[in-house]
Amino acid sequence: MKHIWSPWRMKYIELSKTEGCIFCDKIAEDRSRDRENYIIYRGKTNFIILNSYPYNPGHLMVVPNRHVGAIGELTFGEREEHSHLVVMVVGVLEKELQPQGFNLGMNIGKVGGAGVEGHIHTHIVPRWDGDTNFMSVMTDTRVIPEALSATYKKLVGLLVA
């Protein structure tokens, strides 16, 4: 039997489920911790953060600064900036990572697949031909070929509104 080790997943598995919201906690921290928190960009009403448990390299999220659980609760300004940042991220990822496609989407509510219930966010997942293989189908395991810190270094500073 062959084994594939992904010890970084244990950190996620063992995370104590705390009260509160991880997005609210991250954006409230001092900017000096942005690298540690993988916050790539802070806008007026939204921020961009790498997904700590990505589907692919470059998996980012655009997140409102304000804790809001429904897209209809966003103000016009929040929606406008959110959409602008999604477009900006796609452009930067196209240039820097050269994916062949993208998955974009929001998982709203627990039944909708939201991992962070109550704080909406848009996932931007770069895709390449062949990035899904037998691993995820047969073993429920993903192979991510790049460390988050390396992706962060590639993208930080490139996102400018």
For residue 115, the model assigns a pLDDT of 75
For residue 137, the model assigns a pLDDT of 44
For residue 150, the model assigns a pLDDT of 76
Please give the positions annotated as active site.
Answer: 121
CA atoms of 82 and 104, how far apart (whole Å): 13
For residue 138, the model assigns a pLDDT of 41
For residue 148, the model assigns a pLDDT of 75
Long-range contacts of range 153-159, CB-CB < 8 Å, 24 or more positions apart?
A: 154/96, 154/97, 155/40, 155/50, 155/58, 155/60, 155/92, 155/93, 155/96, 156/35, 156/40, 158/92, 158/96, 159/40, 159/41, 159/48, 159/85, 159/88, 159/89, 159/92
CA atoms of 45 and 63, how far apart (whole Å): 9
CA atoms of 61 and 93, how far apart (whole Å): 12
Long-range contacts of range 18-26, CB-CB < 8 Å, 24 or more positions apart?
A: 21/67, 21/116, 21/118, 21/119, 22/116, 23/49, 23/63, 23/67, 23/116, 23/119, 23/121, 24/67, 24/119
For residue 6, the model assigns a pLDDT of 59
| Residue 121, phi then psi, degrees to nearest 5 | -165, 155
CATH fold for domain 23-155: HIT family, subunit A (3.30.428)
Per-residue pLDDT tens listing for the chain (161 residues):
555 555 655 665 566 556 789 999 999 999 999 999 999 999 999 999 999 888 888 999 999 999 999 999 999 999 999 999 999 999 999 999 999 999 999 988 777 777 777 899 999 999 988 776 444 544 455 556 677 787 777 777 776 65
Domain ranges across the chain:
23-155
For residue 31, the model assigns a pLDDT of 96
pTM score: 0.77
